[in-house]
Amino acid sequence: MIFGVACLAAVAFIWLMAWGIYNKVAVTSMSGFTRVGEPAPDFTLQLLSGGEIEMSELEGRPIVINFWNPLCTPCRDEALGLERAWKAYSDKGVVFIGIDTPMMPDSKEMAISYVEEFGITYLNGRDIDGRITVGYGVIGLPVTFFVGNNGIVQKHWVGSIPEDRLLMWVDSLASGGMLSEEIEGENSGSYYQPETEG
């Protein structure tokens, strides 16, 4: 099964590379774009603090999902902003979930150290086998998805998300509004590109 997931990830990555070359778009900037406008894929995440959370348990609530890795510099750049946004909107029903991805080798200890370093208090876990990462079409880090209370991925942002943009979109989610701006969201100079780094 793990081999099958790895093959699926490889095929998806190759397809996105070919699409990016044909359309002259950086592949990593397309990370997660196929999920926008679609139902957020369900998953079960083992939490760093123990226990687990299932996406299906959060039905009817707005959710912010951030894919990160402790070795990803742009992920570190946005970490404090994500925590501040979580604290500002946690009492308004918005759920934040952080997912440490297997895109770069790390360990549970490194992930815990990252969470402690930035004082992150929202839910965080590790996608050890890569299933969640593949399910969301993530091929570059960080990527943040904004899921409405209807379970649909309304927007995503590739790269380190500016805190003002994050707060604006979370505020819209909290009020039950749609994120209808045309801007899709990309910080083109601030994401991990596996094809050129490491």
Reported as type and span, the H/E element at residue 97 is strand 95-100
Q: What integer pLDDT is reported at residue 35 of this predicted model?
A: 80
The tens digit of pLDDT for each residue in 112-161 reads 999 999 999 999 999 999 999 999 999 889 999 999 999 999 999 999 99
- Mean predicted confidence (pLDDT) in 169-178: 86
Q: Which of left, alpha, beta for 195 (phi over 0: left; psi -120 to 50: alpha)?
A: alpha
Q: What is the largest CA-CA distance in the chain?
A: 45
Q: Say if residues 101 and 154 touch (Cβ distance below 8 Å).
A: no
Task: Give yes or no for residue 190 having a pLDDT over 70.
Answer: no
Percentage of the residues of the chain whose pLDDT score is greater than 90: 64
Residue 92 token pair: 């308004």
Among 18-22, 91-95, 106-110, 180-184, which is the least confidently predicted range? 18-22
- Confidence bin at 102 (pLDDT 50/70/90): confident
- Which residues, other chains included, contact 134 with Cβ-Cβ below 8 Å and sequence gap of 6+? 5, 8, 9, 12
In terms of phi and psi (left: phi > 0; alpha: psi -120 to 50; beta: otherwise), the region of 119 is: left
Position 104 scores a pLDDT of 80
Q: What are phi and psi of 81, to 5 degrees?
A: -65, -40
Q: Is 157 helix (H, G, I), strand (E, B) or coil?
A: strand
Q: Has residue 180 got a pLDDT over 60? A: no
Q: What is the rounded average pLDDT for all residues in the chain?
A: 81
Helices (H), the chain: 2-22, 73-89, 108-117, 131-135, 163-174
